[in-house]
Amino acid sequence: MRQNWQYWNRKATAALCILVIIGIIAALPIAANRWKIERSSKQVDIVFDYRDLVQVAAYKARPQQYIQDELVKMRTAGIGSMAIFETSLQELKWEGRLSIYGSDTISDLEGKPLNKDENFTYVLFNSKADEDALRPVIEETFKLWDIPVAPWSFKGSNGLVMQTPVEDAMLKAMQPDPLAVQMLHDAGFRIVPRLSDRVTYNAAEVDKLLDSYQEIGVTRILFDGNAVKGYGDNAEQKSLTLFADSLNKHGIGIATIENSKPQQGMNTLAYLTHYNVARLYSLPDKDAAGMKPIDIADRFQLAVKDRSIRMFYINAAPASNAAKSTITDPMENIYNSLQGEDGFLAKMDKLGFTAGPAEKFDYTSPSWQKPLKAIVALGAIAFITLLIQAFLPGVAIPVFLLGLIGSAGLYVVSKSIFEQGLALGAAISAPTLAVIWAIRRVRTHTVGSRRSIGGADDAAAARANGGILWIFPGITAGRRFLMAIAIFATTSLISLCGIPFVVGLLNNITYKLVLEQFRGVSMLHLVPIGLSALYLLLYTGDSVIGNLRRLLKMQITVLWVGAAAVLGVAAMYYLSRTGNEGSASSIELTFRNFLENTFGVRPRTKEFLLSHPLFFAGIFLALRYRAAWVLFIVGAMGQLSMVDTFAHIHTPLSISLIRDLLGLALGALIGLVLMGIWQVLEGAWKRWAPRKPAKTTLKSGA
């Protein structure tokens, strides 16, 4: 009975390997479709915050002239769009459109006693054109807030009086200043309106507003605040659907801001607009003023190439300089970052991108993708089963069947969790199985199948060391070198087999636009390392039970506690550097820029400088020294990192592939250097190390 079960289990294991291969093949057309999608958006829009320009101008002696001069410079520098916020009385005052007074100030101006029971806001328009454009906007806004508005005039100038304090009136958001919008459009800028959800959604007014935007060529809008327009009234009015319908009718898309808290309703609106979404990077005003122009250009270049950013939003702010007794603005620094041989526009051109309105990715999901995804999912279940089988031999059949049943149930509950769960499982399984395979190969060539080799003297030495043979003689350095190449290459190839499952299962535009993120990345960074260490400790001796007993009987010393603490700190630091939230020092950033400029694509530092070299050299050493087996745990870090590179789905496939291959090539070269250094040191030790004096035997009669 047991022999029959083992027989069928071996057959099942072979079938699982075949399913994994079929899953990889099925993922290739899906990857090809994604490759095509990633090349469908090649225009980049540079947007400036017009409100910031107005604020900077407020500190100039001639603010209106300053604005006009800077607009000309912006067009020359390559800034093609202007972001226009929903305006306010404060902003209209900055622009010189009107003057604002409180009841106390009006009392002084009119020479009348102050009405103690009045705290109103008085507005005077500065010209007839300002009045014609702004009066309807102001009246409509305050009507929505049920605040009475009445005509008012002073010394021949027309205005309005609102029955609310100035502090409250300043907070009311109004439609973007129509005069500013028209002026910027006439100056040759594309308009990127920023709409908020601060007032009750009015479908007719929004449609009318989008009509006016369509007339001046608006193709994309941004949202201001923590929610998209229409989110607050969606439960009562279905306003998100109404807003999406209006956007689609006018051919206007939306934008999502990188590294910011997702705005409420964004995912729903993106879906309803058929993912007519562009990713935007916002340059903070401190960076616009304080960073070197070449560093800003490099940051923009990396965002376009590596993160699929198609819009750049530039902020600016005036700053006082006490040393120079002046107020400065960052405009010249911004222009320098865009122009010249090292400017962003030149870098963008080399990458094959052009300046223009951001286009959506031509996302298509052919009907053949669904059955192929099912095959990829089946392969992922098989991959996970093989991993469990490596630790629990003989369970392949029941585990695979349970995997099928559990996956079906998970698909019913949540398709997203189903896809992410299987992708994570395959991503963990591939590098872990790869390292386990490497451990087994080295073990086969050294200690064999749980037996000591090397003769009676070696066996006696092993018994003296608790049954462990620490040095394996008999394999020449040249043969170990060739075996290390073969094992390192095959291990890497097995790890790379996890990539098609991540690509095939997570091939959705929501991941590309970072509207949805691949969860469990921390597990991907830790679990393969932990499982590799577990396998090395428990599955490389005479028996798992024997190894476990030996571990449990080990005395815990202060040294062990200290080592555990160091490993814990290292693990926390390692996790802090993973994902998009990790921080880097200025020295590391400089080194990253050097790699980027040298190779065009920056390989991962932990791969080519740490894990791959130590793993490659470690295989070479492990074929002679058992202590070197610990380097397989370090090797797991680089193997999982190659798969994790493709978990950054917003990064184009071509970039991720080049990054992995560069890391392997550079890591292998550094590993060769380490091997050479070790051979030199080992040879020097054998030649010059002190030797024990040979024993002499006195002859009788001497």
User: What string of DSSP letters covers 24-87?
Assistant: HHHHHHHHHHHHHHTTS--EEEEEEEHHHHHHHHTTSSSHHHHHHHHHHHHHHHT--EEEEE-B
Residue 75's pLDDT is what? Answer: 95
Residue 462's pLDDT is what? Answer: 52
CA distances from 355 to 72, 263, 591 (A): 17, 27, 29
1 pLDDT more than 90:
no
227 pLDDT more than 90:
yes
Using alpha carbons only, what angle is made at residue 444 by residues 525 and 382, rounded to the nearest 5 degrees? 45
214 pLDDT more than 60:
yes
Using alpha carbons only, what angle is made at residue 141 by residues 138 and 146, rounded to the nearest 5 degrees? 120
Topology of domain 43-86+181-355 in CATH is TIM Barrel (3.20.20)
- pLDDT above 90 covers a percentage of the chain that reads 67
Per-position b or e across 617-655, b if 16+ CB within 10 A of its CB: bbbbbbbbebebbebbbbbbbbbbbbbbbbbbbbbbbeb
pLDDT digits (tens, 9 = 90+) for 374-384: 999 999 999 99
Locate CATH 3.20.20 in the chain.
43-86+181-355
Mean pLDDT of 170-178: 89
pLDDT digits (tens, 9 = 90+) for 269-303: 999 999 999 999 999 999 999 999 999 999 999 99
pTM attached to this predicted model: 0.85
What is the spatial order of strands in the sheet that 149-154 belongs to? 98-102, 121-125, 157-162, 149-154
What band does 573 get if pLDDT is binned at 50, 70 and 90?
A: low
Mean pLDDT of 579-602: 71
Residue 695's pLDDT is what? Answer: 53
User: Please, are residues 314 and 346 in contact by the beta-carbon 8 Å criterion?
Assistant: no
The DSSP symbol for 394 reads T
Chain mean pLDDT for the chain: 88
Residue 661's pLDDT is what? Answer: 96
622 pLDDT more than 90:
yes
Reduced to 3 states (helix: H, G, I; strand: E, B; else coil), residue 191 is strand
450 pLDDT more than 50:
no
Residue 260's pLDDT is what? Answer: 87
Taking the CA atoms of residue 263, residue 268, residue 271 and residue 275 in that order, the dihedral angle to the nearest 10 degrees is: -10
Q: How far apart are CA 227 and CA 264, in angstroms?
A: 4
| 79-88, 345-354, 554-563, 613-622: the lowest-pLDDT one | 554-563
pLDDT digits (tens, 9 = 90+) for 41-64: 999 999 999 999 988 998 888 988
What band does 451 get if pLDDT is binned at 50, 70 and 90?
A: very low
CA-based R_g, the chain, Å? 34
Mean pLDDT of 16-38: 96
Q: How far apart are CA 520 and CA 310, in angstroms?
A: 27
Per-position b or e across 359-374, b if 16+ CB within 10 A of its CB: bbbebeeeeebeebbe
pLDDT digits (tens, 9 = 90+) for 634-668: 999 999 999 999 999 999 999 999 999 999 999 99
What band does 469 get if pLDDT is binned at 50, 70 and 90?
A: confident
CA distances from 204 to 76, 207, 242, 246, 426 (A): 38, 5, 10, 10, 50
User: What string of DSSP letters covers 141-182?
Assistant: HHHHTT--EEEEEETTEEEEEESS-HHHHTT--BS--HHHHH
What band does 702 get if pLDDT is binned at 50, 70 and 90?
A: very low
Residue 567's pLDDT is what? Answer: 62
Instruction: Say which residue the tokens 């006082």 belong to.
Output: 320
2 pLDDT more than 70:
no
Reduced to 3 states (helix: H, G, I; strand: E, B; else coil), residue 488 is helix
Q: How far apart are CA 283 and CA 297, in angstroms?
A: 11
454 pLDDT more than 50:
no
Q: How far apart are CA 58 and CA 56, in angstroms?
A: 5
Residue 687's pLDDT is what? Answer: 81
Q: How far apart are CA 418 and CA 381, in angstroms?
A: 11
Residue 698's pLDDT is what? Answer: 46
Q: How far apart are CA 50 and CA 58, in angstroms?
A: 12
Instruction: Say which residue the tokens 């990253």 belong to.
Output: 592
| 166-180, 474-488, 543-557, 593-607: the lowest-pLDDT one | 543-557
Q: How far apart are CA 36 and CA 578, in angstroms?
A: 28
pLDDT digits (tens, 9 = 90+) for 524-541: 999 999 999 999 988 887
Mean pLDDT of 110-127: 88
Residue 615's pLDDT is what? Answer: 97
Q: How far apart are CA 585 and CA 590, in angstroms?
A: 9
pLDDT digits (tens, 9 = 90+) for 231-262: 999 999 999 999 999 999 999 999 999 988 88
What band does 453 get if pLDDT is binned at 50, 70 and 90?
A: very low
